[in-house]
Structure 1
């Protein structure tokens, strides 16, 4: 900064720098919030720096021996008599003056946050007060910024007790001086620089690197009474230059050090400024001869002080923050760079896996479709084979039905009630025997074929699925063996069976007619003969002789058949009577012999028609009836068995397909999840790249701030 800066521009330099660095750290704070998902711990660091920046102000600390006029110098700079001053040891504790936006001033103490009147300063900080505070305590005076340009530009004044009346220099320095930008040593022009003052600043210099020190030789207005003023001035200047350059080494040469030493009269500056601000003339006699030079010296000190404190405060307050900001942005940029590359690599991996899963799902879908067609064809062929085998086996069993019936060994009795019980047991025997025989002939082969088919379906399907699901797939095969139910239900099937175990003579007219003419023809002839008897009178009306002869022969035949049918319908004995009538024309001997033989034959059959014969007849009739009924359900039974096999295989394949569908659903869920992950990774990659670039931008902003405010000019 050059010497051409006026008061406003010199002090505003700090304000401009403070605003710029605060704006940058505000951007860094927002940036750290954006990077919160990537980094931890930086938010508190930036927050702490921003909190310090908000409190950062230019701080000047005034030190010196008692009664050297420290408070008066501050009052002159404030252009108001705020600090307690007077003869002797006046200021007893530390007093800090800072600006406030309020229009009225007030003070605060460490013991209370309640604002107090400015007038209380005399009781709290004056050495002669009975209620004075401790030496190392602090009173804060908040004075309206509008009344002082220094306070308006964030300058803080700190007044201290005399350094020659306390032994607590180390604690003072640690508590109030480490953050000071400028130290002002207020000396007494009537005495030389004392060792006490030197010791204090040696301690300050040991704790701070190259502190900015101004030396004010106050009360120089007494020099008007001296004859050798210039010699005294040179003596003071030489001693203080040696202290700054040779002892403290806070400045590099004596020419630079001369801008740090000023001969002033704080009393004259305060009086002049108070009257100047009020617009009233300064009373005669209050200012000594040559006061204009001393006022100019005080103003020159303020100008140099303003330039020094503004530049020093920018360096001391913001340089370290700038370095920390660059370190933070550098570290975060490294994290963003790493996150960018990691997320980019992870995205590529996930995209590759996503494509593999999509290909796997597509392959599984196509193979399942092909396998479904293949299994359907296999089930169809097997169903046809089952139907064919069951039908063949059942037909064979029907042909062997008489053997099954003969094996039925239960007591038989012709009584109707007992016959009904016998029939029920016969139904159960036939049904159980047929079922057992069919199972022996068909079930083993068919069940083995079903099991083999199930295993083949499982193996084919398991080859399409991941290894971890194959065991689950094998568990889908039924643990119990599949059984084919033939469901013949002979009881209902033969419910209409009506046995005929009445005695029938083998050579009776009806039996003979049935043997020679067939049962249907004989029945028709018997029914027709009865009709002819009813029509005989009509035929008597014929006119010719042949008709009469035919009619006579017909009458004889009709009469014989009618009598035959009538007798045959009543009893076999009636047949003998009929033969007797007819046999009149034959020889009686032949008829007698034939009748005897016929009667003996009848008696033989009648005597041999025992219960056993009735049982044989019953079983024969049952075999014929049941065979006819069973043949009707051959197709139904074989179809039912094939349907059971079809259901078993279809349900097994359905369960296997369900597991395959679960695997497909898992693949679809994985694909959906991968798609979501890829989308998030791409967002992360894009955000990491953006944040990495923003870190570069913030670093450039900090470099720009450093070049503008922190480089020496």
Structure 2
């Protein structure tokens, strides 16, 4: 469509050039030495153009009317008038300094010497169509504004293919050109009078068929009126003889001169009639019809453009609506999905936090087993104990971490991966098919693992072991065993006070026997005051004194002996191994208290890691969806721009279609008012 429109532009430019000029143009074409220059000389009744043996014309010679009494010529290379005699040197093919075959030499001939020149008729002689392949250039440069074409053929041969090809090319560029065909050198037929009619009929049939059937520029009757059999050289000589005052027949070359002379005169009459009576038709009617054809074609193109733009606009609007609906659906589903995913992440985080807290509490209860598995050389020396405690911290931290990973890692990882796959599946449903391939870059991480940061070294840094020997049956030990550490500490801080004696009347023997004397209590009080830190000794003396008064010395002695043996046994068995057991027991108690303090912190830290992993995956998915949403928004903007352009195109096409319709009606009106005449 665009190429066709540009072709219309070239055709319109050609029509504009034709209508703009103020003269009628006749172009003479034919093969070399067919007598084109002689025909023009015969029309001008003077030997103006060079003719003779050889290829006579090697450039375009244009004869125009001039108001000057003397003829002159102009070339394309110079605007200086030259003497007309130099035309033979410039245009003759035998000249050593030839001009280009498409060069134009303008010959200005006085108008009073030829009537057609006074009517602004221009005659253009051309080189032979068989001497150059530049027919297209010739046509574009010299023939697009021609009104009449005269094909000068050789009557001694048939119409050649090169001549036909030239007019086929002309017909492609001009609408039904006016063509006259002159079969020149018909004087040669006088030598064979018996074949004259047959040869004439054969030439006539071929030329008529060429004009009617091949070129389709006229009807058969019109074609027969435009084919002539002449002798141009004979007519030049005859008219020169007439100018010299001699009879016309003195210029005859062969028998049948009179018929050939009448035939040439008939050509001149019809040629002039075509230029005068049909000047309007030649200059306007064909171009009007061509303009109507171009306008009709342009209106059809504008109709097609308008319909196509409307159809394309409808398709773009439907596509925009689909994109808009998809965008709104995607944004709405993304909002709902975000709320659901946040809720699911929260549930999973709470679940992980509970699992980690439960598992860590259970591992804390089994801490004594983990500590007893620690085997390192033990010595109560402070330096050795420092190294021992650091290694024990590391062992406990690694053991707890390993046990927690063994119990929780697979479960947590499976839950996280399951949640990620569900998020990816849900998000994939929001993406177009072409974008789902990008989901492969956001597949769940199979190596995700929760890190359990206990930091036992820092947590138990305040642990202070107590490796002093303490008898298990001592007073403090017994108080700790029965009263507990807090009550024991409170009781040990109490200093015994003197007990005031109250006069009593012993009502029976038992009360008198059990009640210690005031002197005995005073002695115990003094001992306690002297050594207030020896609570065991004080207690022993108090209990001993009480027992002496109750059970006797023998029982006391036996009891003291057994008590001493037990003390001695425990004192002898208080070795490094026993100290290590006591150390580990104290460490377990201390670490248990400390670890219980960070259960909530550790479980919260683990759940936070899970939350970060899931949130990171969901954020990447959201980013991918946001990119798709951004693409959708860009596509909608692009479609909006295209719809606006299509609106402009349809509006422009509608305006041009209406203008084409108006121009078509104007051309039809012009044709009816000015171009309707009797044939």
TM value normalised by structure 1? 0.62
Give the equivalent residue in structure 1 for 2:167: none
CA shift for structure 1 position 43: 3.2
SS of residue matched to 1:140: strand
Aligned to 1:41, what secondary structure does the other structure show?
A: helix
Q: Is the 8 A contact 1:361 1:664 kept in 2?
A: yes
**CA deviation vs aligned residue, 1:378-407 (integer Å, no higher than 9, x gap):** 112222222222212211221221122222
Question: What pairs with 1:64-463 in structure 2 (closer than 5 Å)?
Answer: 70=45, 98=64, 107-110=72-75, 113-117=77-81, 120-121=83-84, 134=92, 140-142=106-108, 154-156=120-122, 210=225, 309-463=275-429
- 2:605 paired residue number: 640
1:70–1:159 CA contact under 8 A, matched in 2: no
Structure 2 SS opposite 1:108: strand
Deviation, 1:585, is: 7.9
CA distance in 2, matches of 1:98, 1:65: 12
Gap runs ≥5 in structure 1: 1-34, 73-82, 85-91, 126-130, 161-167, 184-194, 196-201, 223-238, 252-256, 262-303
Q: Which residue of 1 aligns with 2:184?
A: none
Closer, same or farther: CA 336–573 of 1 in aligned 2, 3 Å: same
Gaps of 5+ in 2: 29-36, 50-55, 96-103, 127-150, 155-162, 164-169, 171-176, 182-189, 191-200, 212-222, 229-234, 244-255, 505-516
Asked if the contact 2:527–2:538 (Cα under 8 Å) also holds between the matched residues in 1, the reply is no
Q: Does 1:660 align with 2:607?
A: no
Q: CA deviation at 1:618?
A: 0.7
**Contact kept? 1:98, 1:156, Cα under 8 Å:** yes
- Tell me what 1:232 maps to: none
Following superposition of structure 1 onto structure 2, how do residues 585-596 of structure 1 map, counting pairs within 5 Å? 589=554, 592-596=557-561
C-alpha separation in 2, matches of 1:521 and 1:135: 144
CA distance in 2, matches of 1:518, 1:158: 138
Aligned with residue 679 of structure 1, among 626, 644, 661: 644
Q: How does 1:485-524 map to 2 (within 5 A)?
A: 485-515=451-481, 517-524=483-490
CA 1:664/1:529 → structure 2, altered by over 3 Å: closer, same or farther? same
CA drift at 1:180: 10
Structure 2 residue 572 is the aligned partner of structure 1 residue 607: yes
Give the superposition deviation at 1:474.
5.0
1:599–1:100 Cα change, 3 Å? farther
Q: CA deviation at 1:420?
A: 1.9
Q: How many angstroms does 1:625 deviate by?
A: 0.4
Cα distance between partner residues in 2 of 1:454 and 1:334: 60
* CA distance in 2 between partners of 1:673 and 1:466 (Å): 18
The structural deviation recorded for 1:699 is 3.2
1-structure distance, mates of 2:2, 2:461: 88
State TM-score, norm by structure 2: 0.65
Cα–Cα, structure 1 residues 352 and 182, in superposed 2: closer, same or farther, change >3 Å?
Answer: closer
Distance 2:616 2:647 in 1: 45
For 1:362 and 1:66, locate their aligned partners in 2 and report how far apart those are by CA, in whole Å. 86
The answer (yes or no) to whether the contact 1:58–1:180 under 8 Å persists in 2 is no
**Using the alignment, how far apart are the partners of 1:395 and 1:497 within structure 2?**
20
Tell me, yes or no, if the aligned pair for 2:302 and 2:654 is still in contact at 8 Å: yes
Question: What is the CA–CA distance in structure 1 between the aligned matches of 2:471 and 2:362, rounded to whole Å?
Answer: 34
1:616 equivalent among 581, 588, 591 = 581
Match of 1:561 among 505, 523, 528: 528
Cα gap change, 1:603 to 1:54, in 2 (>3 Å):
same
Structure 2 residue matching 1:614: 3-state secondary structure: helix
1:279-328 Cα offsets, whole Å, 9 max, x none, are xxxxxxxxxxxxxxxxxxxxxxxxx98x9744433333444433433333
Whether the 8 Å CA contact 1:337–1:692 is kept in 2: the answer is yes
Q: 1:308 to 1:655 in 2, by over 3 A?
A: closer
CA 1:440–1:464 in structure 2 vs 1: closer, same or farther (change >3 Å)?
A: same
Contact 1:63–1:159, Cα closer than 8 Å, also in 2: no
Compared CA separation, residues 592 and 360, structure 1 to 2 (3 A): same
**Aligned-pair Cα RMSD in Å:** 5.6
Count residues in correspondence: 554
Structure 1 CA distance for aligned equivalents of residues 298 and 533 of structure 2:
127
The 1-side partners of 2:43 and 2:373 are apart by 145
Q: Deviations over 1:207-228 (max 9, x none)?
A: 9965699x9x999x99xxxxxx
